[in-house]
């Protein structure tokens, strides 16, 4: 289950050293550790901000982070799965009560 997988993150940060996007974003939300923990928040609270979308959709799905993650989280797949969930939310945004906040 996706939540159980991302919940294994131990915040070690090893994945950040290999991510090509982390240095391009304004903060660590644009790296794998940030994305993994945003996915956890999305699944727990159903709250999606513009910044969360920016973080999730700026992932290149290169899977470099997967290779160094000691918790064996398949981060690229987790990002793909949460994108599918977000797309579904967008279609049913009223029913699912998704909050999309502008910064
Ligand atoms: S899959 Fe995404 S989070 Fe992982 S290293 Fe590549 S760009 Fe970064
Ligand atoms: S390497 Fe894995 S366990 Fe460590 S911070 Fe990144 S996602 Fe979490």
| Burial group, residue 14, by CB count within 10 angstroms (0-12, 13-18, 19+) | middle
| Domain CATH number, residue 23 | 1.10.1060.10
pLDDT in tens, 47-91: 788 889 999 999 999 999 999 999 999 999 999 999 999 988 766
- Tell me what pLDDT residue 46 has: 82
Look up the pTM and report it. Answer: 0.88
Number of domains forming the structure of the chain: 1
Task: Identify the nearest ligand to the CA of 64 by its number.
Answer: 1
Domain assignment of residue 34, given as a range: 2-101
User: What gap in Å lies between CA 83 and CA 56, rounded to an integer?
Assistant: 7
Task: Identify the nearest ligand to the CA of 25 by its number.
Answer: 1
Report whether residue 38 contacts ligand 1, using a CB cutoff of 6 Å.
Answer: no
What Rg do the C-alpha atoms of the chain give, in angstroms?
13
User: What gap in Å lies between CA 102 and CA 31, rounded to an integer?
Assistant: 21
12 C-alpha to ligand 1 centroid (Å)? 16
Report whether residue 85 contacts ligand 2, using a CB cutoff of 6 Å.
Answer: no
pLDDT in tens, 29-53: 999 999 999 999 999 988 788 889 9
């Amino acid at each position: 289950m996706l939540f159980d997988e991302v919940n294994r993150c131990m915040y070690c940060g090893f994945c950040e050293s290999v991510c090509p996007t982390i240095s391009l974003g304004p903060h660590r939300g644009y790296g794998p550790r940030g994305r993994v923990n945003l996915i956890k928040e999305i699944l727990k609270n159903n709250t999606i901000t513009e910044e969360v979308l920016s973080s999730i959709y700026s992932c290149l799905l290169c899977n470099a982070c997967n290779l160094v993650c000691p918790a064996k989280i398949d981060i690229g797949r987790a990002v793909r799965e949460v994108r599918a969930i977000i797309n579904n939310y967008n279609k049913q945004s009223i029913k699912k009560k998704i909050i999309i906040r502008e910064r």
